[in-house]
Amino acid sequence: MQLTLHVWRQDSPGKAGRHEKYEARDVSEHMSFLEMLDVVNERLTEEGKEPIAFEHDCREGICGTCGMMINGVPHGPKSMTTACQLHMRSFKDGDEIWIEPWRATAFPVLKDLVVDRSGFDRIIQSGGYISVRTGSAPDGNAIPIRKEDADAAFDAATCIGCGACVAACPNASAMLFTAAKVTHLAKMPQGQTERWDRVLGMVETHDAEGFGNCTNHGACQEACPKGISIDYIAQLNRDLIKATLSAKPEESGKDA
Amino acid sequence: MRRVATLYRTTVGKKVLMAVSGLILFGFVFTHMLGNLKMLLPPEGGHFAMDVYAEFLREIGYPLVPHQTLLWVARLGLLGAVFIHILSAVQLSQASRAARPQGYAKEESLSLSYASRTMRWGGVILLLFIVYHILHFTTGQAHSSFVAGAVHQNYVAAFQSPLVYLVYLVAQTALCFHLYHGVWSFFQTLGLSHPKYNHLRRPFAVGFALVTFVGFLTPPTLVLAGVIS
């Protein structure tokens, strides 16, 4: 099939960018979206032009590296699918496709479709650690966990940190990401010791990074390639309220 | 206090203030709607039911406290809630605008409801309406034949004008949308989420918004139709 691409090109951070038009010829419907871009890039390279920069790594939908706005939807039209797992059969011959990077103050564009998502790393870092005995691997079932909690923790842990939630949110909020990371540990017995410090630290870093605030639209959960629910944002809110309003004084016990 | 300040410093804390002040305003709106339904009741002992109710509101708490004391406590409380609600909205909107200075050339709105997208402008419409409404029915400057204390008479005189009816219809529509997204957001922001009850939150918000809409507009519609005079 033949496609017309409108791709955001930007040479470096802070430089003005623009949309450029490319014709993608002889695209097979079995190609992934990234393979289609590979083919376009190959031609650009042969013509002595700068290829389109985009991030990718595993191409199996599990690393969270790829991600771009495809026709105004993060990761493109197929729900619960990353850009690398999106196939060209989701488009038809003659389609025009607009490809843009995630847009957020906290995700500055580095080049073309590549944005700097290190803000996510700093949110995770501010979540700190969990207190567990290191050394030999613990016995698999030594700590009993309710099935519902294990499932909820696992669902939250499927977040791959791709940034689609921020891209979709009209406020460029990273609440879904932060909520997934907070809940993932808050639902586990191993995450209890630092639970209240963690939620506070992560939310404060979230705000400091310049992400917007959640206005409960729910666009993030539609965009999330892992289908993470905004119920986790409610959990984050509840944990944060508990962590602040009902936290015990630091000095407590007999010596206080 | 330090913990309250810590919570307030975060965007979530500002949203909590938004939700709690919103809850106070929901409570007011609902009570106000119930009060307006007095227009449908027959007169009691030569007095209109609405006027009896209005007198009750002025005298509530008397003789424990002086005349109109609790009325003013409630008014100041509501004014405070409105102020906090608007202040939080402005702060949060500014933070959100700064978070996305450049938009997309092409954007699909994923699951963005009309109600959620119009919260900010809907809020501005409601604020303008509240100012007009107070000038109209409380202080009387915006009313052509205002008589202090004669609530029933003022009400009927106002809604005999289709133009006034239209203004209130627009305001109630804005309120209906604002309440729908507001009530649902209230649950979400305060973390009132439970797998067993979550599916009831949206229907509850729809129900609350619709009951308010119908409750507020029934008496004016009957006035305009000439049923209440």
What CATH number should be reported for the domain holding residue A238?
1.10.1060.10
Q: Among A69, A100, A131, identify where a domain stops.
A: A100
| Cβ atoms of B46 and B56 closer than 8 Å | no
Mean pLDDT of A147-159: 96
The verdict on A151 and A93 lying in the same domain is no
| CATH number of A37's domain | 3.10.20.30
Q: How far apart are CA A67 and CA A58, in angstroms?
A: 12
Q: Is residue A162 part of a domain?
A: yes
The verdict on A87 and A148 lying in the same domain is no
Please indicate whether, in this complex, the C-beta atoms of B92 and A215 are within 8 angstroms of each other: yes
Spell out which residues of chain B touch residue A213, defining contact as CB-CB under 8 Å: 11-12, 14-15, 92, 95-96
Q: A6 vs A20, A70, A197, B135, CA distance in Å?
A: 5, 10, 45, 54
Q: Among A66, A100, A134, identify where a domain stops.
A: A100
Closest residue, chain A, to B185 (C-alpha) = A216
The verdict on A208 and A181 lying in the same domain is yes
Please indicate whether, in this complex, the C-beta atoms of A230 and B188 are within 8 angstroms of each other: yes
A14 C-beta neighbours (distance < 10 Å), count: 8
Q: Give me the residue from A72, A106, A239 closest to B108, CB to CB.
A: A72
The count of residues in chain A is: 256
| Cβ atoms of A80 and A226 closer than 8 Å | yes
Q: Which of A2-11, A209-218, A242-251, B41-50 shows the lowest per-residue confidence on average (mean pLDDT)? A: A242-251
The 3-state secondary structure of chain B, one letter per residue:
CHHHHHHHHCHHHHHHHHHHHHHHHHHHHHHHHHHHHHHHCCCECCECHHHHHHHHHHHCCCCCCCCCHHHHHHHHHHHHHHHHHHHHHHHHHHHHHHHCCCCCCCCCCCCCCHHHHCHHHHHHHHHHHHHHHHHHHHCCCCCCCCCCCCHHHHHHHHHCCHHHHHHHHHHHHHHHHHHHHHHHHHHHHCCCCCCCCHHHHHHHHHHHHHHHHHHHHHHHHHHHCCCCC
Q: Is residue A143 part of a domain?
A: yes
Q: How far is the alpha carbon of A217 from chain B, nearest alpha carbon, in Å?
A: 6
CB pairs under 8 A between A and B: 145
**ipTM of this model?**
0.92
The verdict on A127 and A96 lying in the same domain is no
Q: Is residue A111 part of a domain?
A: no
In chain B, domain spans = 2-99+113-224
The verdict on A133 and A233 lying in the same domain is yes
Q: Is residue A174 part of a domain?
A: yes
Q: Is residue A108 part of a domain?
A: no
For A108-127, how does the pLDDT look when each residue is reduced to its tens digit (9 = 90+)? 999 999 999 999 999 999 99
Please indicate whether, in this complex, the C-beta atoms of A106 and B106 are within 8 angstroms of each other: no
Q: Among A100, A127, A147, identify where a domain stops.
A: A100
- Our count of domains for chain A comes to 2
Closest residue, chain B, to A174 (C-alpha) = B99
Spell out which residues of chain A touch residue B191, defining contact as CB-CB under 8 Å: 234-239, 241
Q: Is residue A112 part of a domain?
A: no
The verdict on A202 and A134 lying in the same domain is yes
The verdict on A169 and A214 lying in the same domain is yes
Name which of A18, A21, A22, A41 is nearest A31 in CA terms: A41
The verdict on A138 and A227 lying in the same domain is yes
Spell out which residues of chain A touch residue B4, defining contact as CB-CB under 8 Å: 244-245
The verdict on A236 and A167 lying in the same domain is yes
Q: What is the identity of the amino acid at A133?
A: R
The verdict on A131 and A84 lying in the same domain is no
Q: Give me the residue from A19, A236, A245 closest to B3, CB to CB.
A: A245
The verdict on A123 and A83 lying in the same domain is no
Q: Show the domain range for A94.
A: 3-100
What's the pLDDT band for A246 if we cut at 50, 70, 90?
Answer: confident
Q: Is residue A110 part of a domain?
A: no
| pLDDT tens, per residue, chain B with 229 residues | 568 888 999 999 999 999 999 999 999 999 999 999 999 999 988 899 999 999 999 999 999 999 999 999 999 999 999 999 999 999 999 999 999 999 999 988 887 788 999 999 999 999 999 999 999 999 999 999 999 999 999 999 999 999 999 999 999 999 999 999 999 999 999 999 888 899 999 999 999 999 999 999 999 999 999 999 8
The verdict on A95 and A132 lying in the same domain is no
